[in-house]
Amino acid sequence: MNTGVITAVGIDVSKYKSTVAARRPGGEVVLLPFDVSHDIAGMKELLEKLHTLNNEGSEIRVIMEHTGMYWRPIALALQQAGFFVSVVNAILIHNFSDNSLRKVKTDKADALKIANYGLTFWMDLRAYSAEDETRKMLKLQSRLYERTTNTGISMRNSLIALLDQTFPGANKLFRDDKRNIKGHVKWVDFVLCFWHKECVATMFLHTFADKFQKWCKRTGYRFSTSDAERIHTSARNTIATLPKNNSTKLLITQAVNSLNAVYDALHVIRTEMNRLASLLPEYELVMAMDGVGTITGSQLMAEIGDVRRFSHKGALVAYAGVDAPPYQSGTFDAKKRHVSKRGSPNLRKVLFEISSGVLMQENRENPVFCFMDKKRVEGKHYYVYTVAGAAKFLRIYYAKVKEYLNVRESL
């Protein structure tokens, strides 16, 4: 029988193990901090100890930080066992003082601090609910896309550095940096064939133009006589510092093939992201919003998840870190505030890209563009009105998507 006693179980999660402690009101420590491994034996040990507390008639709530992905196995195991689990933003735990002047940072102290946080905010704790599998996979794909893109940028810069010694300016030979169906870039594929300036400069213009046209036809790129003339002129006017030999060719070929392998991977990831996003109920609504593209729309839905998990639009804006919280003390009231940047950096990046797209579209019927344009006319800095537009976009997104999902669920 439940005696009305409450017990907060704090779990400080790390990669391979977690530290667990349990507290009750009045400073009573029910379970001294102990470590459990993230395997079947460790989970069994933890469940046995929690069931012992539960048999004593105590109402148990388990609290842990939302950091990385390491908390997922233990949260799912406890939830499936019937325990109340709350996963709290790490910033909230970090800012919680635990009523102590000492600054102690150990796993045991953190576990007790998390448990104390649970007791302090007992009525405000939200139960963790396992994400929809599609949303979870979409978020993983989105994060993989970001990492792969960064790898591609690094490899692209390395290739340009090599070309500066064999064919300077080769990455700027084409006015259109268009990609083929696999996501390959035209100038990258071009230098795989014409890897040294001498591959072009030693030929007459008409000979090169004929060879270049055949290359375009074979690779699926558009041929232009003006492109052939410009490339030929550039090749004859530039100076290469590396000789035209097999060693230099191997360097360029390896760099191009590695970069194209990344582009192939990005193409596969983009396709899968769009497929997963299309399975979500709000897909059509989100994709129809101004500034949202196939990739940014998928990333937006991945980073936000189910919008209904946010209590109000301000919570979503704060999660993205594009809010400017007030700062006032006595007679001082700050008028200029920086955005908090306390939320998801991945979501902020996507929102910045969407805001930039809205500015380029210049749709006067779009309230987000009108808002940013007004700030721009007022003389605000580019970053100021772009971030402000991102916050306004999020508020509109929250209202539209939440209403749509609620209506759809009620049918």
Residue 117 in contact with residue 88, Cβ under 8 Å? yes
Residue 180 in contact with residue 217, Cβ under 8 Å? no
pLDDT of 132: 74
pLDDT of 106: 87
Q: Rg (Cα) of the chain, in Å, rounded? A: 28
Q: ∠380-382-388 over CA atoms, to 5°?
A: 75
Residue 397 in contact with residue 350, Cβ under 8 Å? no
pLDDT per residue of the chain (411 residues) written in tens, 0 to 9: 445 689 999 999 988 899 999 999 988 999 999 999 988 999 999 999 898 887 767 789 999 998 778 888 888 889 889 999 999 888 888 888 766 666 767 889 899 999 999 999 999 898 887 767 899 899 999 999 999 999 999 999 999 999 999 999 999 988 765 566 678 899 999 999 999 999 999 999 999 999 999 999 998 888 989 999 999 999 999 999 999 999 999 999 999 999 999 999 999 999 999 999 999 999 999 999 999 999 999 999 999 999 988 889 998 998 888 876 655 556 555 566 677 777 788 999 999 999 999 999 999 999 999 999 999 999 999 988 999 999 999 999 999 999 999 998 887
Residue 86 in contact with residue 128, Cβ under 8 Å? yes
β-bridge pairing 59-66 and 28-37 = unpaired
> Which candidate, 319, 336, 318, places its Cα nearest to that of 327?
336
Q: How far is the C-alpha of 317 from the C-alpha of 323, rounded, in Å?
A: 6
pLDDT of 174: 86
pLDDT of 220: 86
Backbone phi and psi for residue 349, each to the nearest 5 degrees, phi listed first = -65, -45
Residue 393 in contact with residue 291, Cβ under 8 Å? yes
Domain range annotation of the chain = 6-130, 135-278, 283-410
135-278 topology per CATH: Helix Hairpins (1.10.287)
Residue 312 in contact with residue 283, Cβ under 8 Å? no
Backbone phi and psi for residue 402, each to the nearest 5 degrees, phi listed first = -65, -45
6-130 topology per CATH: Nucleotidyltransferase; domain 5 (3.30.420)
pLDDT of 133: 82
pLDDT of 334: 59
pLDDT of 69: 80
pLDDT of 176: 61
Q: Which two tokens stand for residue 339?
A: 């955005």
pLDDT of 1: 40
Q: Which two tokens stand for residue 156?
A: 């692209």
Backbone phi and psi for residue 37, each to the nearest 5 degrees, phi listed first = -85, 155
